[in-house]
Structure 1
């Protein structure tokens, strides 16, 4: 199991990050960090021989009602995935969002779009991992995400805090029990129901004992997604997660 750190779309933050992590997850895409504009020498220096994962644009929807727009969405993600492959990225995180998540018929559109983007990733040599954002207005619900990820053979990026915000610790347990074998990548942080999110592990209400029980021996990648630059807090979160999953940091 490899433990890494999310660094947003900030190359300076990446360069300043602790070298204890195995990889860094970097946000790419317009308007902030366009892959074609990245200084590859600067990126290589910042990575310092660590692995690279990328996060595709956070606010880019996966689907729309118009076929022409859906084609454009796939074309955009393909361009980013091709660039990510050139940069040497191993995985790319994709938010699972839909133009209308409550329209039952729209599920087929979301499935087709996910298949097309995942295939684009395979062609680029990058594993697309689809992330649960069902707590958001347009995020596809956990129950549906597991189904369409299975149908398209797309690995999952399971965000523990997002799942808690969607349905509490019961939702975490339910998804891990039903779809744990589909998870390739984890986003780990803590949250509180009152709205605090992406806080250090152990500071919130997520029961990481559930994660331990369902994912013990996990052999994928784990990104610490705590919104702070405090090295001690980031390291403590990484150590807590590693201990729960039977690994070392």
Structure 2
């Protein structure tokens, strides 16, 4: 298990904080780190200080599927270009939000599945594993159980954002998902929340019962990204220690 740190689009944050972690997860594309507009030399030097290949996060605002075939083709092409670039920095994983223009339109879910598979294929061609992240608490996010079903049917690994799952359906929702789909989880986003807000607190400062992860993810050998909105290194390291203890508790 490698424990890393999400750094948003900030090379400054990567340089300041990621040295304490095995890898950094960098947000790329629209409204983030744009490879086509940026000299990669500084990024490459910053990444060299971590112990494992980086991860990337594909554009937050880009839905995976719409009702317009031409737009869907363009989405796959655009994300494919970003994945090709991610391959040049030896990214191990690319996180993709599980979103569509209308997640409640059940007739469009097969389109989402086809889009997801095409994007995953583009990642495989670039040498990057695409993992689909649950954002069912957001307006365009597929419900957690639906995302798990589609991912399972199409052989797509999952980035389980524990905080997002809690905001959508509480600790019970996390447990239900892990009972059914724990084997799909390749990547974790870990943080804590209060009152169902997307607050990205250090683990232990909020309401999530992280102890339940140990039952369903024993000896987890995937990647874990600490997604806490602070540059306070001791707090970041404390969350890393806590998640390590939870996931190692049955080893």
Q: TM-score range by the shorter chain?
A: over 0.9
Please state how far the C-alpha of 1:48 moved relative to its aligned partner.
Answer: 3.0
The 8 Å contact of residues 28 and 56 in structure 2, kept in 1 or not, is answered as yes
Counterpart of 2:24 in structure 1 is 24
* Aligned: 1:221 with 2:223: yes
User: Which aligned pairs between 1:1-249 and structure 2 lie closer than 5 A?
Assistant: 1-50=1-50, 51-195=53-197, 197-246=199-248
Partners of 2:198 and 2:3 in 1: how far apart?
23
- Decide whether aligned partners of structure 1 residues 112 and 226 sit closer, same or farther in structure 2, where only a CA change above 3 A counts: same
Question: What TM-score does the superposition give when structure 2 sets the normalisation length?
Answer: 0.95
- Decide whether aligned partners of structure 1 residues 83 and 240 sit closer, same or farther in structure 2, where only a CA change above 3 A counts: same
- Decide whether aligned partners of structure 1 residues 34 and 189 sit closer, same or farther in structure 2, where only a CA change above 3 A counts: same
Question: What TM-score does the superposition give when structure 1 sets the normalisation length?
Answer: 0.96
Please state how far the C-alpha of 1:33 moved relative to its aligned partner.
Answer: 1.5
Once the two structures are superposed, what CA deviation does each residue of 1:188-239 show, in whole Å capped at 9, x if it has no partner?
Answer: 0001125252001001010001112211211000000000000011011000
The 8 Å contact of residues 182 and 217 in structure 2, kept in 1 or not, is answered as yes
SS of the residue 2:169 aligns to: helix
Give unmatched runs, 5+ long, in structure 2.
none
The 8 Å contact of residues 40 and 87 in structure 1, kept in 2 or not, is answered as no
Partners of 2:196 and 2:164 in 1: how far apart?
14
Q: Number of aligned residue pairs: give it.
A: 247
CA root-mean-square deviation: 1.2
The 8 Å contact of residues 53 and 90 in structure 1, kept in 2 or not, is answered as yes
Q: Which runs of 4+ in 1 moved over 6 A?
A: none
Partners of 1:181 and 1:192 in 2: how far apart?
28
The 8 Å contact of residues 136 and 142 in structure 2, kept in 1 or not, is answered as yes
The 8 Å contact of residues 27 and 56 in structure 1, kept in 2 or not, is answered as yes
Give unmatched runs, 5+ long, in structure 1.
none
The 8 Å contact of residues 9 and 32 in structure 1, kept in 2 or not, is answered as yes
Please state how far the C-alpha of 1:103 moved relative to its aligned partner.
Answer: 1.2
